[in-house]
Amino acid sequence: MQFQVTPELIEKIQHLASEQLDQELHRYLKDLHHADIAEIIAAIPPVDAAYIIRLLDSEKTAEILMELYEDDREQILLQLSPQEIAGELDMMDTDDAADFLAELPDEIKGEVIDNIEDDEHAKDLQELLRYDEDSAGGLMAKELIRVREDWPVSECIDEIRRQAENVIRVHSIYVVDKDDKLIGRLSVKDLLTVKSQTKIAEIYIPRVDYVNVHTDGDEVARVMQKYDLEALPVVDEIGKLVGRITIDDIVDFIKEEAEKDYQLAAGISQDVDTNDSFIKQTRARLPWLLLALVGSFVAVLVIGEFDTALERYSRLFFFTPLIAAMAGNVGVQSSAIIVQSIANNTLSDSLSTRLFKELLLSFSSGLLLSLLLLFATHFILNYPISLAITIALSLIIVMIIASLVGTFVPITLHRMGIDPALATGPFITTSNDIFGIFIFFSIARVILEF
């Protein structure tokens, strides 16, 4: 444990690969975990990486390839022939192999499938490719252990031995009826602790959680987390057992979902990493910045509309960034809380209750902060009281409206089937800037009469 891949090791391996020193490479790599080899391979040129993939046996390289980020994997695959790629797929679990296949360009997909030796494996892959990748069908693997309710435990154990060869981890043993419909499960523990003459029908647990092939990935993640499941069987439209989803795939899914929210809040498109190319990073970041620039330019136009205030109340203009920033901060806070509650399925209030709560919260916080600001502008900056009151009053009104918008927007987006996390991104903060500034100057115009 605590093994770390060092830059020296990466350099050494790359040197050995480019010099094609097979024996030494084997010596270095044989005791490394596939995840560590993946880390090394991602850091060296694709041609050397492909050399190592060809050198090691397929069982190990299949695991290595699955560990890589999609971009790195693509670079390496470009170096391999369809036959070589098919050899890797043969060794993968169906769920991983299907994801892997889905990434390949269409023109070589067919050729790769034709080159897969195990026909049943190839058929399973074609089935999995039909499902949406974020549905239960797209997340599941075909490998699982199934036993028939009318078998005795002894036959069952033989069958499990046979089936277990294809299943890396035995989580649960699923029990089906004669039509292959899922009717229950056997726990491994039960199997270890009953006599071998017992019939499956007597000992199986008839309660089993399952999902349909078309169930959404979010819902699968929610169910597995809520009920602390490590594997979840998947049935087709008529209740036949067709696959199972394991927790390790869902861990990745949960992490990606959480990251997506974070990235939306920060105004970057998904899946961009410090190691990505200049082009990819720019593509992920520039659109949001452009949007923010256009929005901010609208704010400039709004401010320009109030230029009659410049003569007597020029100091109002010193406060536009403050009002805009506070509108943005309050709005993002409100939205983020809603977004998380939606993600965690804890949003139990109705929209009106929620808006009322936000009204109370933002009014009380706004009142306190406005009084502080009133004090600071009047007593520290020596602004006339009318000007100080205008600014303070605008702050509380802008805060209340921003918090209501910040609550309303994500709930509404969610109801419309749009990712509510969008509401914490630059799109909404920029809108908040614009209307915050507009409200500020409108209030000022009414009070100060310019």
Q: Which stretch binds a second copy (CB under 8 A): 20-28, 79-87, 160-168, 412-420?
A: 160-168
Q: Does 14 bind a second copy (CB under 8 A)?
A: no
Q: Does 354 bind a second copy (CB under 8 A)?
A: yes
Q: Does 94 bind a second copy (CB under 8 A)?
A: no
Q: What is the Cα–Cα distance from 358 to 344, expressed in whole angstroms?
A: 19
Q: Which stretch binds a second copy (CB under 8 A): 22-30, 85-93, 147-155, 362-370?
A: 362-370
State the nearest-atom distance from the C-beta of 324 to a second copy, in Å: 4
Q: Does 248 bind a second copy (CB under 8 A)?
A: yes
| Distance, C-alpha 187 to centroid of its chain | 31
State the nearest-atom distance from the C-beta of 285 to a second copy, in Å: 5
Single out the residue of 196, 205, 262, 308 in contact with a second copy (rule: CB under 8 A).
262
Q: Does 307 bind a second copy (CB under 8 A)?
A: yes
Q: Which residues contact 29 (CB under 8 A, 6 or more apart)?
A: 13, 37, 52, 56
Q: Does 61 bind a second copy (CB under 8 A)?
A: no
Helix or strand (DSSP H, E) at 161? helix 153-164
State the nearest-atom distance from the C-beta of 159 to a second copy, in Å: 11
Residue among 392, 400, 404 at smallest CA distance from 443? 392
DSSP 421: G
Q: Which stretch binds a second copy (CB under 8 A): 53-61, 109-117, 196-204, 289-297?
A: 289-297
Pick the closer one to a second copy by CB: 116 or 245: 245
Give the chain's radius of gyration (CA, Å).
30
Single out the residue of 138, 243, 267, 420 in contact with a second copy (rule: CB under 8 A).
267
Single out the residue of 40, 122, 373, 405 in contact with a second copy (rule: CB under 8 A).
373
Bridge partners, 185 (sequence order): 174, 205
Bridge partners, 246 (sequence order): 231
State the nearest-atom distance from the C-beta of 174 to a second copy, in Å: 14
Query: What 3-state DSSP class applies to 241?
Result: strand
One DSSP character per residue, 38-95 reads HHHHHTS-HHHHHHHHHHS-HHHHHHHHHHS-HHHHHHHHTTS-HHHHHHHHHTS-HH
Query: What 3-state DSSP class applies to 110?
Result: helix
State the nearest-atom distance from the C-beta of 72 to a second copy, in Å: 10
State the nearest-atom distance from the C-beta of 134 to a second copy, in Å: 17
Single out the residue of 205, 251, 371, 418 in contact with a second copy (rule: CB under 8 A).
251
Q: What is the Cα–Cα distance from 42 to 37, expressed in whole angstroms?
A: 9
Single out the residue of 17, 49, 338, 428 in contact with a second copy (rule: CB under 8 A).
338
Single out the residue of 265, 401, 404, 428 in contact with a second copy (rule: CB under 8 A).
265
Query: What 3-state DSSP class applies to 387?
Result: helix
Pick the closer one to a second copy by CB: 59 or 259: 259
Q: Does 303 bind a second copy (CB under 8 A)?
A: yes
Q: Does 347 bind a second copy (CB under 8 A)?
A: yes
Pick the closer one to a second copy by CB: 112 or 220: 220
Pick the closer one to a second copy by CB: 18 or 364: 364
Contact indicator for 249, 235 with CB cutoff of 8 Å: no
Q: Return the structure tokens found at 244.
A: 């199972």
Instruction: Please report, as residue ranges, which positions from 40 to 59 form the binding site for a second copy (by CB under 8 A).
Output: 43
Instruction: Please report, as residue ranges, which positions from 19 to 38 form the binding site for a second copy (by CB under 8 A).
Output: 33, 35
Pick the closer one to a second copy by CB: 286 or 418: 286
State the nearest-atom distance from the C-beta of 91 to a second copy, in Å: 16
The number of beta carbons lying within 10 Å of the beta carbon of residue 280 is: 15
Q: Which stretch binds a second copy (CB under 8 A): 21-29, 87-95, 113-121, 363-371?
A: 363-371
State the nearest-atom distance from the C-beta of 286 to a second copy, in Å: 5
Q: Does 344 bind a second copy (CB under 8 A)?
A: yes
One DSSP character per residue, 300-359 reads HHHHHTTGGGHHHHGGGGGGHHHHHHHHHHHHHHHHHHHHHHHHTT---S-HHHHHHHHH
Query: Given the DSSP bridges, would you call strands 231-235 and 241-246 parallel, antiparallel or unpaired?
Result: antiparallel
